[in-house]
């Protein structure tokens, strides 16, 4: 049986749900507020959360969004409310809620929702990264704002970016709640009419146009001609220059023009490099929570090594590196040496990194100081010893590292 967390500020509802679910054989934990629920979630991973929307401290939607952002949404969540609107239910589903129950909750509806949610939780293997997980870096926030502007358009959208940019994360932002999503790579080899039926009212996503064969391109042309009638939105991605895609890859020029009615560029990982330590930590937490790897944390030196690496294959390479380090590290704390082994080459920059001399003096000094501190932290993460080597008072050193955006891990001594 499952461990279920019930979060509701009304004591009568908490006790009623607890009694029903206990009679069904489940173990039930109760929380009277979002703050209490957050504390329970920090200590353990429930198999299911029943979460009220309207609470006195923090509303359930905000808590759900917080869990989704920091990697803690590794269990199914069913929202509950007696006053929610359709828009609220849609928003909850978009963030990651599995279901929505309207109060007063009928017994059969409760048990049905719990059964479906637990079944979906059992099927979850590896957590899915979302665009919200990428943090609030300006490059990512700008892309999200532009996607929000394009959400109501029906014209085909071409996403352009470097290999490994994980375009599906961005394309998923355009998917409305409870609408179909069809990944069209393999599906385009099948009967186009079947794809139309599967995707009606939703999105057909084509990941990397350069990989489409001639027959797949013909099927895609057939589908595009029926886009308006089927109310299907086409979102595709290419890491190739359009001219090269046509001239060297032999891609159909007319088809590319149809797919490019709207175009949006995606940021490379280096465009939000300051988010890499937090993003890597979020990915690792998700892997641990879903038992993909044993309990692991990154050392300060490991986070600095990840931040300094250039990531030529972008998000895909970072995600794979975190998985490999989580599984291959011999200790609970992942070291810089573990990261170097995963990346197949030293991740730290040489101490003599060049400073662009055409920068203003203050910016050039920041570049040098960041390289200086990252170099020494990669070799020895002790703040005390770094303070001694640099000749800085410890409090002043902490302020300087924070101002330079250099992450400090759990183990500083």
Average pLDDT for 212-241: 90
Q: What are phi and psi of 236, to 5 degrees?
A: -130, 170
**pLDDT of the residue at 172:** 92
pLDDT above 50 for 1: yes
**pLDDT of the residue at 409:** 53
Nearest C-alpha neighbor of 292 from the set 316, 328, 317, 318: 328
| Average pLDDT in the chain | 85
Q: What are phi and psi of 153, to 5 degrees?
A: -75, 155
Q: Name residues whose C-beta falls within 8 Å of residue 39's C-beta, 6 or more positions apart in sequence.
A: 31
**Which tens digits make up the pLDDT trace of 356-372?**
666 677 777 888 888 88
**Which tens digits make up the pLDDT trace of 268-302?**
998 888 889 989 998 898 888 777 788 899 999 99
Range with lowest mean pLDDT among 274-278, 330-334, 342-346, 364-368: 342-346
Cβ atoms 52, 81 nearer than 8 A: yes
pLDDT above 90 for 353: no
pTM of the model: 0.58
Query: pLDDT band at residue 109, thresholds of 50, 70 and 90?
Result: very high
Q: ∠ at Cα 385 (382, 389), nearest 5°?
A: 135
Query: pLDDT band at residue 389, thresholds of 50, 70 and 90?
Result: confident
All domains of the chain in start order, with CATH = 3-123 (3.40.50.2300), 136-267 (3.40.50.300), 271-413 (no CATH)
**pLDDT of the residue at 377:** 79
Query: pLDDT band at residue 354, thresholds of 50, 70 and 90?
Result: low
- Per cent of the chain over pLDDT 70 is 91
| Torsion angle defined by CA atoms of residues 33, 36, 37 and 38, in that order, rounded to the nearest 10 degrees | 120
Which of residues 129 and 209 earns the better pLDDT score?
209
């Amino acid at each position: 049986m499952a461990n279920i967390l019930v979060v509701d500020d009304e004591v009568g509802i908490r006790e009623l749900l607890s009694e029903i679910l206990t009679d069904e054989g489940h173990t039930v934990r109760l929380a009277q507020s979002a703050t209490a629920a957050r504390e329970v979630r920090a200590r353990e991973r429930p198999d299911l959360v029943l979460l009220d929307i309207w609470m006195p401290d923090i509303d359930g939607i905000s808590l759900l969004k917080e869990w989704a952002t920091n990697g803690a949404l590794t269990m199914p969540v069913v929202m509950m409310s007696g006053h929610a609107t359709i828009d609220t239910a849609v928003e909850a589903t978009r963030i990651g809620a599995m279901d929505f129950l309207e109060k007063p909750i009928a017994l059969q509806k409760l048990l049905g929702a719990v059964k479906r949610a637990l079944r979906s939780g059992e099927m979850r293997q590896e957590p899915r990264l979302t665009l919200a997980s990428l943090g609030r870096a300006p490059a990512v926030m700008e892309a999200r704002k532009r996607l929000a502007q394009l959400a109501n358009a029906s014209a085909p959208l071409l996403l352009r970016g470097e290999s490994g940019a994980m375009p599906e994360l961005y394309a998923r932002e355009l998917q409305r709640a409870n609408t179909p999503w069809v990944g069209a790579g393999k599906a385009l080899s099948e009967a186009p009419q079947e794809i139309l039926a599967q995707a009606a009212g939703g999105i057909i996503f084509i990941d990397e146009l350069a990989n489409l064969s001639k027959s797949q391109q013909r099927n895609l042309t057939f589908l595009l001609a029926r886009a308006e009638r089927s109310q299907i939105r086409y979102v595709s991605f290419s890491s190739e220059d359009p001219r090269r895609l046509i001239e060297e890859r032999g891609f159909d020029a007319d088809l590319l023009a149809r797919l490019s009615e709207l175009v949006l560029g995606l940021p490379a990982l280096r465009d939000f490099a300051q988010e890499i330590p937090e993003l890597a930590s979020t990915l690792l937490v998700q892997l641990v929570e879903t038992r993909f790897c044993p309990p692991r944390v990154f050392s300060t030196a490991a986070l600095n090594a990840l931040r300094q690496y250039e990531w030529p294959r972008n998000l895909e390479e970072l995600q794979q590196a975190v998985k490999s380090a989580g599984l291959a590290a011999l200790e609970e704390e992942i070291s810089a040496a573990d990261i170097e082994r995963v990346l197949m080459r030293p991740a730290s920059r040489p101490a003599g990194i060049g400073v662009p001399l055409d920068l203003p003096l203050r910016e050039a000094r920041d570049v040098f100081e960041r390289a200086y501190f990252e170099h020494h932290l990669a070799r020895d993460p002790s703040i005390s010893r770094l303070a001694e080597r640099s000749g800085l008072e410890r409090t002043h050193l902490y302020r300087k590292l924070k101002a330079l955006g250099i992450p400090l891990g759990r183990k500083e001594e």
